[in-house]
């Protein structure tokens, strides 16, 4: 095949690709604009979506969480930073910051298969970390997750067992 033939062939491929893309683009934009429920072309908001997904994660009350703890059916996940975790945490809790969930996925899946329920917590009623860690766990296929809102303060003030240091 001569160099001229080859460049002609590439040109014809390129021309066909451009034609297909142009047709698809035209029809996509026109059909979207005439739809009654049209989607804004550049208006996707991941923040709103995450908020919506996080709102679906079930909560657990302190008494329910303590009950599961007594039955040894729960694994507490402390979503705070490592320094706060070392200062004090729910006994036997694991420290998993939202960004670090992927490092623990395999071991947590094994625990989930054994029937454990995961309860994430952080500190303060507005703290987002427990929801973020729970959301990251659900995205990785661990569905038995609940959030204990303001968990650390509630657990500590109730006088339930706590421990200190790394784990």
DSSP state of 98: G
Phi-psi region of 117 (alpha: psi -120 to 50; beta: other; left: phi over 0): beta
Chain positions 18 to 37 lying near another protein, rule: CB under 8 A, are 19-21, 23-25, 27-29, 31-32
**Site stretch for another protein (CB under 8 A), options 58-66, 71-79, 102-110, 148-156:** 102-110
Q: How many residues bind another protein (CB under 8 A)?
A: 32
102 binds another protein (CB under 8 A): yes
Least separation, in Å, of the C-beta of 112 and another protein? Answer: 11
Q: State which of positions 35-94 bind another protein (CB under 8 A).
A: 39-46, 49
Beta strands 117-121 and 89-90, pairing class: unpaired
Q: Which two tokens stand for residue 164?
A: 């200190």
Which positions touch another protein (CB under 8 A)?
A: 12-17, 19-21, 23-25, 27-29, 31-32, 39-46, 49, 102, 105-106, 139-141
């Amino acid at each position: 095949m001569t160099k001229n033939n080859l460049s002609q062939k590439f040109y014809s491929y390129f021309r066909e690709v451009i034609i297909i893309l142009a047709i698809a683009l035209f029809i996509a934009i026109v059909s979207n604009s005439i739809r009654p429920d049209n989607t804004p072309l550049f208006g996707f908001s991941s923040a709103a979506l995450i908020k919506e997904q996080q709102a679906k994660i079930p909560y657990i009350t302190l008494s329910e969480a303590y009950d599961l703890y007594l039955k040894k059916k729960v694994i507490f996940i402390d979503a705070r930073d490592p320094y706060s975790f070392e200062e004090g945490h729910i006994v036997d809790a694991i420290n998993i910051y939202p960004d670090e969930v992927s490092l623990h996925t395999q071991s947590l899946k094994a625990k989930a298969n054994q029937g454990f329920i995961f309860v994430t917590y952080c500190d303060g009623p507005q703290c987002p970390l427990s929801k973020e860690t729970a959301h990251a766990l659900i995205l990785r296929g661990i569905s038995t997750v609940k959030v204990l809102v303001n968990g650390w303060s509630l657990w500590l003030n109730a006088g339930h067992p706590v421990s200190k240091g790394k784990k």
